[in-house]
Amino acid sequence: MSWKKVCAVAEVPENALEKFEIDGIEIIIANYGSGFRAFPPRCPHMEEPLCDSGVLFDGMLTCTKHLWQWDMATGERTGIAEKELLFYDVKQEGEDIYAHVEQALVYEDDDDDEEEEDDDDFFNAD
């Protein structure tokens, strides 16, 4: 894939988060006042749908479930957020918004089976 038209600028008013689908991939377009961001629809914390749990105000996206926050201008996490948001490149051309979507961006799972403790080793220890 490459640059794809997502929507018209007018479909995403300032401080709005709107979900769209591009060739079967769901993305959110956020209008933070001085620009747009495009990112996957789920919070990287516990996969809450950011269209429902996300609030965009003063350039800051807050997931209201546990108050993780990201600065939309820099794209960086802030406050207590422990994970970065993943972003698709986004651009405005005239009255339209485009996103560069190669494949769905997916957050890594925290579960790491290789580091799981082996209970048998614990009980066999001298």
Contact (CB, 8 A) for 55 and 42: no
Report the alpha-carbon distance of residue 98 to residue 27 in Å, rounded: 11
Q: Which positions from 68 through 107 interact with ligand FES, judged by CB under 6 A?
A: 68
Among 63, 90, 99, 101, binds ligand FES (CB under 6 A): 63
CB of 108 to ligand FES, least distance (A): 15
Q: Which positions from 10 through 49 interact with ligand FES, judged by CB under 6 A?
A: 43, 45-46, 48
List the one residue out of 103, 105, 97 whose CA is nearest residue 39: 105
CB of 120 to ligand FES, least distance (A): 34
The number of angstroms, rounded, from the C-alpha of 21 to the middle of its chain's C-alpha atoms is: 14
Residues that bind ligand FES (CB under 6 A): 43, 45-46, 48, 53, 63, 65-66, 68
